[in-house]
Structure 1
Amino acid sequence: MSIVDDTHHMDFSQHYASVARYFTQVLIAAVFSILEGLAFILDRTQYSNTIFYTLGSGTTSNVSFLTQYMATLKPFQAPSAPQPTTHSISALRKRTLEVTKHNHKKLMKRTRELRNRIGK
């Protein structure tokens, strides 16, 4: 009989005891699997700082200085997005706007003085 078949005929303590054995085995297997994976990773990191390459003559040289140099370089950063700029206008247009503003102010001043004189 399997665990599933027995569950309907057992009280809770018997069911828990039978299932606990199974889950304990699964848990232990998972822990060992994780530890084996960590051991593999740690074993590989011992050699990650050393790169070997073969010269044309068939000799192999250690170039760990290259990896150390690469580690000192700054990581690549993408350029920032362009910021919106104000649109430049020509000097003539700017001068025209200033004169127009000045003339408008003169006209308003003259109109205000005229109204004050007429109103008195």
Structure 2
Amino acid sequence: MFDIGFWEIVLISVIGLIVLGPERLPVAIRTVLKWVRTVKGTANTMKNELSQELKIHELHENLRKAEQQGLKDISPELHESVESLKQAAESVTRPYAKKPASSDSESSTASNDVSPPADIKGDEQEKK
């Protein structure tokens, strides 16, 4: 991005040392580095968001093409895009929905069948 060589960095640091002095130079360097990190983080965030938006736009375009072709005679690429778009839509509409009902039914039957073992039942009857 910038074509800064070794001698340019040395010249900038000497000028900074003369202008700011040895007491304020480390603080100024830390402040500049903090700004640079903030700008880089913001740029990376924007880049990620733009790539996600482009991907969503591409999926919508593929869905429109598939709808125009009747969702029957579509290419495998369009079919994959349609399926991924459907899965994304389902995850957005029901983000907290539970997974398959088979695991729920197993846990509910296990919790309903809570009876003490036979030897504990016998101990309870002897106490009465």
Bin the TM-score by the shorter chain. 0.3 to 0.5
Between structure 1 and structure 2, the one with the greater Rg is: 1
Return the structure number with greater relative CO, CA threshold 8 A, min gap 6. 2
Which TM-score applies when normalising by structure 2? 0.37
Which TM-score applies when normalising by structure 1? 0.39
Q: Which has the higher helix share?
A: 2
